[in-house]
Amino acid sequence: MSSDHSSCLFCKIVRGEIPSRKVYEDDELLVFHDIHPWAPVHFLMVPKRHIDSLAQVQEADAPLLGRMLALAPKLALQEGCRPYPQGGHRVVINTGAEGGQEVHHLHVHVMGGPRPWLKG
């Protein structure tokens, strides 16, 4: 991928150039609702620093990924998922074309709520 991320959709959202329905934000992360949800609860967690995909993650990124995974269940409950074990949520990271990645900026989908869902 190019090192110029000026046209990256998620970089534009992080910079505030494209509006989003924010769920959470801190110095490293932005979390916002998916505009085409597959489930009653569906939000995306993106690092503010551009990383193309999970395939480009370095060992130094482990704390960031750990924070994202630790935060996911808290935000899922906040956004309306029922608690484990009767409730729950799904965490998905699509990687590369064959993995279904459409936006080449690392992002974590968090989906939950009553089934059946549109997809997945």
* Catalytic machinery residues: 107
Per residue, what are the HEC states of the chain?
CCCCCCCCHHHHHHCCCCCCCEEEECCCEEEEECCCCCCCEEEEEEECCCCCCHHHCCHHHHHHHHHHHHHHHHHHHHCCCCCCCCCCEEEECCCCHHHCCCCCCCCEEEEECCCCCCCC
The span from the CA of 52 to the CA of 60, in Å, is: 15
**Which residue matches tokens 């924010």?**
22
